[in-house]
Amino acid sequence: MAKFNLVSSLAGTGRSYIDAQAVMRDTVLHIQVLGKQVNREYGAVQDINMDSVVDSFQTWLQNASDPTVNEYADRKSAASDKTYFRIQFSRNNDGSFKFQIPGPEYNRGYGATFTASAENSDRLATVDDCVNAVDMNPHVG
């Protein structure tokens, strides 16, 4: 059985995150997770509407797929040749989800981070299913 790839926090906390890839489609962040089958044959897909975030972050996310801007834009779509960027996520104790994206500095030295609140968890059901399918406690290197 395929498993999701766990990676360490980009902030150096040692916290485990599920490794994924993403691309912006207009104002929607399209996330693909390769591994255990959740809602796709290759793993999982989750779309997050980002139209309520500030324009500068939307622009940063749009540029994150450009390899000339982001050295971490080196992943290919599961279904096409479109370039995706790295993203990783984990569930916080309050039920919200924390996302980290390596790339040019936005709101962190390693790139960007954002949190999707627990109130939106029904719209993040696939992300939740991924986290539930993994033991998030082991230390990863």
Own/partner pairs, 28-36, CB within 8 angstroms, 24+ separation: 29/61, 31/87, 31/89, 31/127, 32/77, 32/78, 32/84, 33/4, 33/130, 34/2, 34/4, 34/5, 34/78, 35/2, 35/3, 35/4, 35/5, 36/1, 36/2, 36/3, 36/4, 36/130, 36/133, 36/134
Query: Which one is predicted more confidently, 5 or 123?
Result: 5
* pLDDT tens figures, 105-115: 999 999 999 98
Domain ranges of the chain: 16-111
The residue-averaged pLDDT of 34-51 equals: 84
| 67-119 pLDDT, tens digit each | 888 887 776 666 667 788 999 998 888 888 899 999 999 999 999 999 887 66
